[in-house]
Amino acid sequence: MVAAITSRLQTALLSDTSRLSDHLIQTLLQDALCVRKTDIAFAVVAIENQRSLEMCEPNGLTSQTTVNAVYARATGRFATVQTQIG
């Protein structure tokens, strides 16, 4: 999955005062973990995009490694996702 927020909305707040960017990454992580049925997720982020790298850790992507001169990979382990029927 690939996602981006236009520059104009990168600091936008939702009606509950949470940041749009935090909501986006949390939704992407939830969806990815459900679709892949895994407890590990990662994001590849441009090293120059310090703000996105800083956003990874509070959202569970706590281990960062350099992929090459341009990109870093942030990885996290999450609790197994349970599907609820109901």
CA dist 72 and 78 (Å) reads 20
Report d(CA 57, CA 75) in Å as an integer.
9
Q: Enumerate the H helices of 1-86 as residue ranges.
A: 20-36, 50-56
Evaluate if pTM is beyond 0.85.
no
What integer pLDDT is reported at residue 12 of this predicted model? Answer: 92
Q: For residues 14, 16, 18 and 22, what is the CA-based torsion angle, rounded to 10 degrees?
A: -70
Show the tokens assigned to 44. 């590849």
56-86 pLDDT per residue, tens = 888 889 999 999 999 999 999 987 544 444 4
Distance CA 81, CA 30 (A): 8
CA 5 – CA 21 distance, rounded (Å): 7
